[in-house]
């Protein structure tokens, strides 16, 4: 059991941290004994514990007693562990004094974490404020230059490693279903439901220019294929026949996505009202945000998709800043789908610190706007669905991989080989930490002039081969909601047996969750990359669970 000593202002973010690091914990109770005490306070915990972890960028009572000096680090605020750089966004201090160094900053010039032994307990001193870091990541996110670092997952892995290295067994509920390596969520923003909706407007002429001349330039630069060039030119010259209804609209890709995603339960975010650019958009040419279709124009496609099990969500216009308009957008989609638990992703990913509260009051079940337009990766530093600060029900499904961020020449502008390397890194992290990889592939991205369909098919296949569980955005959110609702009521270690009592008011259903028991290793310096044994136990709903530490389950 972990006991936490924190300020009153930190309690909400502490609770969220331990929804992500789903392990037994409580706020410290006077006179109670704990396996681990995690403290952000200046005073030394008097609770009896085997491991005390102190997170603070300020001088503590422990520092004064041990003669530890603190020096602010104003630049190079990257913590280095086993070759992994962990950004620190708040205050970071170096530690000078007695103790075994655990972490250094990027160039290994300064110690930012150390371990010492006092009487019968181990003390780990860390030179930054963990919960301030978590609060910043989940509210504002990290800058695009650090997008590829799963910062929050690294903080969890560090703490887990220190606990196990102290000789303490640890149990948690991982953020993955039983029998799978991680979760994949395929989503599609429908900004364009067909080129027929665009007649000699900016979108029409932009398509013609890019298809005729942009694709030719790509071939000349060695970044495009002749086959794609011919396909794009053919599309341009077919436009009169498209408008006459003599050939199919190549920007209507609902059927093709249904074929590709047929075993993968994807989600389509549709525009509720056409010809509305929305307000408060602080980007160039905001009038271009207006869309020429809405859900009423694709009712046949919507009916077919919902019958096949696909999810329809709101591609929001003003919902991120207006509760009233958000409710109107939600109701428009709900009326067309017959569903009440509706999620949203904002058009152009419009989002700010107040957006979660506005969306929650409007009645949305979840949001999936927390990501990058100009990069791919972990804006919140995490692969997990989380609850933003200040809301009571709405959950945030973070966005990780977006097609236009990868290939648009005004964004990353990558080749397919470069894009694949970045996507592989995200899938590697998901395999390592668990959680969900959320993919956004726009409706027109399979079609001319983009023709990014082959890459998407390859990505979906790779996710399957790596052992991902696929769910719609709503299904993924509900899985995390189920995990969040499980509470550790009792946790004790007697001899070589863990006794655990969980409280859950719902039915135990598929996909199943499980417990992971981390076995202690020899006391020493712990790192993210350090290997230790664990085994997994399927949670069947029984109470209590008694787990021998030499369990023959899935040992890794």
C-alpha to C-alpha distance for 136 and 118, rounded to whole angstroms:
33
Strand, helix or coil for residue 461:
helix
Same domain, 231 and 188: no
Query: In this structure, are residues 551 and 535 in contact, taking their beta carbons and an 8 Å threshold?
Result: yes
Helix residue ranges per DSSP H, 408-470: 416-433, 453-465
Same domain, 411 and 289: yes
Inside any domain, residue 373: yes
Q: What is the pTM of this model?
A: 0.94
Q: What pLDDT shows up at residue 525? A: 47
Of 433, 463, 480, the one marking the end of a domain is 480
Token pair listed for 372: 């990058």
Same domain, 341 and 468: yes
Of 480, 515, 534, the one marking the end of a domain is 480
Q: What pLDDT shows up at residue 5? A: 94
CA trace torsion 387, 390, 394, 395 (10° rounding): -10
Cα angle at 40 between 35 and 43, to 5 degrees?
90
pLDDT tens, residue by residue, 13-63: 999 999 999 999 999 988 889 999 999 998 877 778 999 999 999 999 999
Query: In this structure, are residues 228 and 217 in contact, taking their beta carbons and an 8 Å threshold?
Result: no
Same domain, 129 and 15: yes
Number of folded domains that form the chain: 3
Same domain, 228 and 288: no
Token pair listed for 260: 């590709």
Residues of the chain where predicted confidence (pLDDT) is lower than 70:
108, 521-532, 551-556
Query: In this structure, are residues 371 and 400 in contact, taking their beta carbons and an 8 Å threshold?
Result: yes
Q: What pLDDT shows up at residue 38? A: 96
Of 461, 480, 499, the one marking the end of a domain is 480
Same domain, 372 and 289: yes
Range(s) of the domain holding residue 74: 2-172
Same domain, 238 and 365: no
Same domain, 62 and 121: yes
DSSP characters over 162-186: HHHHTT--EEE--SS-TT-SEEEEE
Q: What pLDDT shows up at residue 430? A: 98
Inside any domain, residue 223: yes
pLDDT tens, residue by residue, 66-120: 999 999 998 878 888 777 889 999 999 999 999 999 999 877 689 999 999 987 8
Inside any domain, residue 65: yes
Inside any domain, residue 530: no
Inside any domain, residue 504: no
Query: In this structure, are residues 377 and 427 in contact, taking their beta carbons and an 8 Å threshold?
Result: no
Inside any domain, residue 493: no
Q: What pLDDT shows up at residue 39? A: 95
Same domain, 21 and 149: yes
Q: What is the CATH number of the domain that holds 131?
A: 3.40.50.880
Is the bond into 448 cis (omega within 30 degrees of 0)? Answer: no
Q: What is the CATH number of the domain that holds 305?
A: 3.20.20.370
Sign of CA dihedral 396, 255, 413, 458: positive
Same domain, 30 and 163: yes
Cβ within 8 Å of residue 489, ≥6 positions away: 501, 502, 503
Q: What pLDDT shows up at residue 274? A: 96
Inside any domain, residue 506: no
- Considering just the CA atoms, what is the radius of gyration of the chain in Å? 25
Distances, alpha carbon 505 to alpha carbons 492, 508, 538, in Å: 22, 9, 18
Cβ within 8 Å of residue 145, ≥6 positions away: none
Instruction: Count CA within 13 A, CB hemisphere, residue 7.
Output: 11
Same domain, 22 and 153: yes
Inside any domain, residue 91: yes
Same domain, 231 and 337: no
Q: What pLDDT shows up at residue 47? A: 77
C-alpha to C-alpha distance for 314 and 318, rounded to whole angstroms:
11
């Amino acid at each position: 059991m972990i006991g936490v000593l924190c300020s009153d202002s930190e309690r909400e973010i502490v609770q969220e941290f331990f929804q992500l690091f789903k392990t037994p914990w409580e706020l410290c109770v006077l006179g109670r004994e704990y396996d681990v005490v995690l403290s952000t306070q200046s005073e030394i915990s008097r609770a009896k514990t085997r491991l005390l972890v102190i997170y603070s960028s300020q001088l503590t009572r422990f520092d004064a007693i041990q003669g530890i000096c603190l020096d602010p680090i104003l630049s190079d605020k990257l913590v280095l562990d086993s070759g992994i750089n962990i950004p620190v966004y708040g205050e970071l201090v170096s530690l000078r004094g007695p103790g075994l160094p655990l972490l250094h900053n990027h160039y290994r010039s300064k110690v930012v974490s150390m371990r010492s032994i006092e009487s019968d307990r181990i003390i780990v001193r860390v030179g930054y404020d963990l919960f301030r870091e978590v609060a910043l990541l989940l509210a504002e996110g990290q800058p695009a230059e650090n997008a590829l670092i799963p910062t929050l997952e690294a903080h969890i892995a560090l703490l887990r490693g220190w606990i196990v290295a102290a000789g303490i067994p640890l149990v948690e509920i991982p953020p993955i279903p039983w029998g799978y390596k991680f979760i994949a969520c395929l989503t599609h923003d429908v900004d364009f439901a067909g080129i027929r909706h665009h007649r000699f407007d900016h979108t029409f002429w932009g398509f013609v220019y890019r298809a005729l001349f942009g694709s030719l330039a790509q071939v000349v630069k060695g970044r495009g294929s002749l086959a794609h060039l011919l396909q794009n030119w053919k599309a341009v010259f077919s436009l009169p026949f498209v408008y006459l209804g003599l050939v199919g609209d190549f920007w209507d890709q609902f059927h093709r996505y249904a074929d590709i995603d047929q075993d993968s339960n994807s989600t389509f975010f549709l525009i509720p009202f056409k010809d509305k650019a929305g307000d408060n958009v602080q980007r160039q040419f905001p009038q271009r945000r207006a869309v020429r279709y809405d859900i009423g124009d694709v009712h046949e496609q919507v009916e077919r998709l919902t019958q096949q099990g696909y999810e329809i969500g709101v591609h929001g216009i003003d919902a991120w800043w207006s509760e009233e308009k958000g409710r109107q957008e939600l109701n428009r989609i709900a009326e067309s789908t017959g569903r009440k638990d509706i999620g949203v992703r904002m058009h152009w990913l419009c989002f700010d610190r107040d957006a979660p509260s506005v969306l929650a009051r409007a009645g949305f079940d979840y949001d999936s706007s927390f990501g990058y337009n100009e990069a791919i990766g972990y804006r919140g530093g995490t692969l997990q669905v989380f609850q933003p600060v200040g809301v009571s029900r709405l959950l945030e499904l973070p966005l990780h991989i977006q097609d236009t961020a990868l290939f648009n020449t005004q964004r990353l502008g990558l080749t397919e080989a470069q894009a694949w390397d970045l996507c592989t890194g995200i899938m590697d992290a998901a395999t390592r930490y668990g959680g969900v990889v959320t993919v956004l592939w726009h409706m027109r991205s399979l079609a001319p002039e983009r023709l990014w369909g082959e890459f998407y098919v390859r990505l979906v296949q790779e996710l399957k081969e790596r052992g991902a569980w696929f769910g719609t955005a709503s299904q993924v959110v509900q899985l995390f909601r189920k995990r969040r609702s499980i509470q550790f009521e009792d946790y004790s270690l007697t001899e070589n047996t863990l006794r655990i009592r969980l409280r859950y008011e719902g039915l135990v259903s598929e996909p199943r969750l499980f417990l992971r028991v981390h076995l202690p290793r020899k006391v020493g310096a712990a790192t993210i990359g350090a290997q230790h044994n664990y085994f997994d136990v399927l949670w069947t709903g029984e109470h209590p669970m008694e787990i021998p530490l030499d369990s023959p389950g899935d040992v890794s």
